[in-house]
A and B are shown apart, each in its own frame.
Chain A
Amino acid sequence: EIVLTQSPGTLSLSPGERTTLSCRASQSLSSSYLAWYQQKPGQAPRLLIYGASSRATGIPDRFSGSGSGTDFTLTISRLEPEDFAVYYCQQYGSSPRTFGQGTKVEIK
C-alpha cells in the first residue's frame, strides 16, 4: 500500500499569507493520481484538486496543486478566513486508495 506523508503537521498563519503544503508518496504515483481535500470542523471533506493540479468545480483559483512522481504540493496564494482547515492528500492510482495524515492550517 502507498503511504502518503504530509508536512508540516500544523501551520500557524495569518490571513493574506501564502502557504505551501507538502505530500510525499512512498512510491511513484501513476499518472499523477493525487487529490487534495479540505475539511472544516464538523463538516465532510471537500474536493479541491484532482490529477495533482486540476481544480475541482467551484474551487477558487487561489488554490493550486503541483508535483509528480512522489512529491506533491498544495499552494494557497492568499489565505482567506474560510481557508483555515485541515487539508488531506489522497492517492487513487493504486489499490487501496490512501490518505495522508493531514495538515492543519490554523490562525496565528
Chain B
Amino acid sequence: EVQLVESGGDLVQPGGSLRLSCAASGFTFSTFAMYWIRQAPGKGLEYVSAISTNGDITDYANSVKGRFTISRDNSKNTLYLQMGSLRPEDMAVYYCAAGNAVFDYWGQGTLVTVSS
C-alpha cells in the first residue's frame, strides 16, 4: 500500500524557517517525481514545488521561488521542503504527492501556521 506521511508542520513566526519531511513507503520512491501542494484554510489547492526522480530538476511556484527549496533523499525514501522567510500567506496544510505527470498519490498533510 502506498503511504506518504508528512511531518514538520508547526507554528512559526513571520520571517522564520521550517523544514517539512515526507516519508514514502509502498512504492519505488526513486522512480517517481515528487511534489508539494498546499491548501490555505478554507481555500483551494495551490501547487508549490516539484522535483524529478533523481533530484536534478526542480520547479517552484512564483509565490515561493527563492524562499523554498525542495530536495529528496532516495536512500531514505524521503522528500523535503525547506521553507524560509515565511509569510502569513504561507500558512496552509502542506501535502506531498507522488506521480510522474499528475499527482497520483497524496499524503494527509501537515499544518504550517505562520503567526506572531
Interface residues of A (CB under 8 A from B): 1, 33, 35, 37, 39, 43-47, 50, 56, 88, 90, 92, 95-102
Contacts and interface: CB of A to CB of B under 8 A. Distances in A.
Interface string B26-59: 0000000000010000001111001000000001
Given A45-B45, A101-B44, A96 B103 contact: no
Nearest to B49: A96
A47 B103 contact: yes
A44 B108 contact: yes
Given A44-B109, A99-B47, A92 B62 contact: no
Contacts, number: 52
Interface of B: 37, 44-47, 50, 59-62, 95, 99, 101-104, 106-109
Contacts of B101: 33, 50, 92
Nearest to B99: A47
